Structure 1
Amino acid sequence: MGYQSRYDQNFITGNSAYNKYAFTGTNLINTGFHYSYTFKNVYSYGEIAHSIDGGWAVVNGLLISLSPKLSTVLLHRNYDRDYRNFFSSAVGEGTDVSNEKGVYAGLNFSPSKKFLYSIYLDYFKFPWLKFRVDSASKGHEILVQGIYTPKKTLKILLRFKRELKQQNPDATDKSEGLKNVLKGSGRAAIDWKLNKSIDFQHRVEVSLYKKGEMGQEFGKLVYCDFNYHPPLAKLSGNLRIAYFSTPSYNSRIYAYEDDVLYGSSFGLYSEKGFRSYSNIRCRITRKVDLWARYALTFYQDKESISSGLDEIEGNIKSDVKVQLRYQF
């Protein structure tokens, strides 16, 4: 399998050292081969890809069902620093499928229908430079999660995550060498349904950030979601009320937010304040639907928000969306 991409202008990557192996020119040819094979309770899969005049990208994995209650996954990846592909999407810690080697292992254990335990470990290396990383670096990521579902209308989740990477020292740090950057998070969430029309979601999340010998930062987020979706009703919607507090952008917390049709996203909660949003959907006729969204963020201890052309005087930020759909 292969394809060719042609562009009417040359790609220019700049003079930064980490861009030394980035694509330049107007013509890019990619080839690839993938496979999969099942033997009893083992499913193997993988892909080998090559960019002409560039490097290789290789992924190999195993899915193993050890028992009806226990399963595991193993995955190895090796992406050359000069592999180039604008349309690739593969497992990796970096944003591009290049300059990365890693091993991923995960385990799922379900002793009963009510309990599910998961754990994964990802170890990765970056052989070449990256943005804000002026030498080869490495890191790892660990996640442990438990889900308890005592009945169909109630689910309880606990999750802990730890991530370690390396970056250049801050501008005020005169020491040499890369600094370890530790990020951690803990989450407790409860989802429960009152009836077929109403359900609630509650979450408490904390974040941890520490770089080098600097002090630790702790952030927190607490929110409650109310969802109203009666079957066959013309009107439905949801509401969120959240409180957040993070010392800086480094300890920010992301949380999924509902939006108008095709507009869902992950909201960024940083600094200190309250945030609330509401979505409403109205089925006006069989062919016409209306969505509306109003969001309001109140920041504590701030006299203005953002800067430049985006600056807002005061400590309140709001936005409104309205979407109308007509189906032929």
Structure 2
Amino acid sequence: KDPGELNWADHIGGFLEMKSDIALNQLIAGDYILEFGQGITLWGSYSFSKGSDAVSGIKKKGDGIDSYNSVNEVQYFRGTAAKIKLPVSFGDFSLYGFYSNNSIDASIDTVLNQLSSDYVDGYHRTQSEIDRKNAGNERLYGGRLLYESKLFGTAKIGLTYYNSRYDKPFEYKGLFEFSGTKSNAIGADFDFVFKNVNVFGEWARSYTDIVGGVTGVKILFFKLADVVFMVRNYPKNFIMLHSYGFGEQSGTSQNEFGIYSGIRFKIGKLAVINAYYDQYKFPYATFYNPVPTSGRDFMTHTQWNVTRGFTLFTKYKNETKEDVTSVINSYGLEEDKIYDRTQTNYRLQFDYDIYRTFRVRSRFEYVFVDNNGYKTSEKGLMFFSDIRVSPLRNLIVDGRFIIFQTDSYDSRIYEYENELNGVVSNQGLYGKGRRWYLMLKYKPYKFLELSAKYSETVIEGAKTTGSGNDEVMNDLKNRFSFQLDIKF
């Protein structure tokens, strides 16, 4: 149940899973996700991309078939999936098979009986949102063959295929958007490790007969430094329905070409330094810009182990991305103008483990946005302090207090929060205000966990907070979440 929904059981999900050491290695019935290769052919609804770890987070490490019990109500499969493992003298073969019959939320053109748009937010609060619930259906089946060997280093080679069909056609919206009822994809992925060199990647062919993918190389130098290079190429007509490849556009493996370089360097036990540089371009118009654009960003992150239990973090990130704005030309006419938007973030953070059961963390972050004279430059800052206390072995208490002030939404600052299992919270804070939350996790038995979180956000001087169906008619927005996990 989401806030505002009248049905207390608006979404119900679950699964039964069996794992063993016999040939039938895994069997699942119910809700699941598929994570293969580098996410080009099939991946789940979420994946980390660029971050403070410039090396490890770039290469995906999928779980194959994974049970699903997250809060996302639509981006998963519902049906059956199985894995058969066949060891041979020269390696292991794994055969995967999967079938899904799942409903999707979509708006329908009742005249043509077509799906005009699909929705992934899972909200069913108003009548129009309720009408979209389960309006469409997708049936998907496929398989995967994986070979693993350790004869010469480590080698993994996989081949994945799926076929998808919707019960109603998606209407035509453009040359490079999915339309119709049928889709399929086939992809090959590889992962070779020999001594200190790792070559990995995945390339796939979409139902439009276009090939796209990624290739990366990771090298370890004398246990002191790791470097990684990756090239990604997703053509504008590379249309993949269940892809989540690495890239600037989160979750969209389409209309992007980029080259990424990252390094992680260790200075004994004193410090770890991460840095990356990424260049990318969008060869065709995107949702945000009507013309092709490009960008680049640089990040450096340092972890200083000052004393036992006390760690200092510094982070600098500079990103320049082409944006489009409307200007009045010399003839008095309005025209689109491409300009460079540069955003710079500075962060200072420390973690202090006072005792094994008590940790303190504080962070200060400053952001400056330079719009190159086409818009007003902006700035913002955020400070938070949080604690984690574990008075009992089976009880964890997290609390955080945040103050923030930014010129507008364009200079917002993000902060990841501790959350209930299966929930990812990356709050974008803007305006002037404060926020706090308190979360408890209690595990009285091995099979049972209780968790709850309460949060409040206050925007100074605001008459309303949020927008649309999330709008609150005052300056306070609060939320309470409760979760019960039973595992057997």
**Pairwise same-fold verdict (TM > 0.5):** yes
Counterpart residue number, 1:216: 377
Mapping for residues 277-296 of structure 1, pairs under 5 Å: 277-284=437-444, 288-296=448-456
Q: Deviations over 1:83-123 (max 9, x none)?
A: 11122121111231011111100111112111111110000
- Report if the CA contact (8 A) 1:143-1:160 is conserved: yes
Q: CA deviation at 1:66?
A: 2.3
SS in 2 for 1:23: coil
2:323 aligned residue (167, 184, 187): 167
**Aligned residue type for 2:480:** V
Aligned pairs (5 A) from 1:88-167: 88-95=243-250, 96-167=252-323
Alpha carbons 2:451, 2:483 under 8 Å: kept: yes
**Residue in structure 1 matching 2:465, options 302, 305, 323:** 305
Amino acid at match of 2:322: Q
1:8 CA drift (Å): 1.3
Distance 1:183 1:99 in 2: 23
2:210 to 47, 55, 67: 55
Q: CA deviation at 1:307?
A: 4.2
Alpha-carbon separation, structure 1, partners of 2:315 and 2:341:
20
1:228 matched to which residue of 2?
Answer: 389
Match of 1:28 in 2: 183
Deviations 1:128-165, CA, capped at 9 Å, x for gaps: 11113122211101101111013441211100011111
1:278 Cα deviation after fit:
0.4
Counterpart residue type for residue 209 of structure 1 = V
- Looking at structure 1, the residues matched to 461 and 311 of structure 2 have their Cα atoms a distance apart, in angstroms, of 36
Percent of pairs with identical residues: 25
Cα distance in 2, alignment partners of residues 108 and 168 from structure 1: 35
CA contact (8 A) 1:192 1:201 kept: yes
Q: Distance in 2 between matches of 1:109 and 1:288?
A: 41
SS of the aligned residue for 2:336 comes to coil
- Note if contact 1:187-1:203 (Cα within 8 Å) is conserved in structure 2: yes
The Cα shift of 1:286 comes to 5.7
Amino acid at match of 1:185: N
Asked if the contact 1:164–1:181 (Cα under 8 Å) also holds between the matched residues in 2, the reply is yes
Task: Tell whether 2:417 aligns with 1:243.
Answer: no
Q: Are 1:54 and 1:82, in contact at CA under 8 Å, matched by a contact in 2?
A: no
Any conservation in 1 of the 2:437–2:454 contact (CA below 8 Å)? yes
Change (3 A) 1:295 1:4: same
Residue deviations 1:152-183 (CA, integer Å, cap 9, x gap): 41211100011111222058894533222222
The equivalent residue for 1:185 is 345
Mapped contact 1:244–1:269 kept (Cα < 8 A): yes
Aligned to 2:169: 10
Matches within 5 A, 1:60-79: 60-79=215-234
| Residue 4 of structure 1, CA deviation | 1.1
Relative to structure 1, the CA distance from residue 327 to residue 31 in structure 2 (aligned partners, 3 Å threshold; closer, same or farther) is: closer
Counterpart code for 1:201: R
Q: Distance in 1 between matches of 2:471 and 2:197?
A: 56
1:193: how far off? 0.6
Distance 2:301 2:326 in 1: 33
The aligned counterpart of 2:90 is none
Paired residues, what number? 323
Q: Extract unaligned runs of 5+ from structure 2.
A: 1-158
Question: Structure 2 vs 1, CA of residues 6 and 256 (structure 1 numbering), >3 Å: closer, same or farther?
Answer: same
Is the Cα–Cα contact under 8 Å of residues 323 and 339 in structure 2 kept in the other structure? yes
1:123 touches 1:140 (CA, 8 Å); kept in 2? yes
Partners of 2:441 and 2:217 in 1: CA distance: 43
Residue in 2 that maps onto 1:274 = 434
Distance 1:42 1:220 in 2: 41
Q: Which amino acid aligns with 2:321?
A: K
Q: Give the aligned partner of residue 241 of structure 2.
A: 86
2:221 and 2:446 map into 1 onto residues whose CA distance is 49
> Residue type matched to 2:214 in 1?
V
Residue identity opposite 1:298 in structure 2: V
SS at match of 1:87: coil
Q: What is the RMSD of the two structures over their aligned residues, measured on CA atoms?
A: 2.1
Change in Cα spacing, 1:201 to 1:172, as seen in structure 2 (3 Å) is: farther
SS at 1:94 equivalent:
coil
- Is 1:259 aligned with 2:415? no
Please give the alpha-carbon distance, in whole angstroms, between the structure 1 residues aligned to 2:220 and 2:420. 40
SS in 1 for 2:410: helix
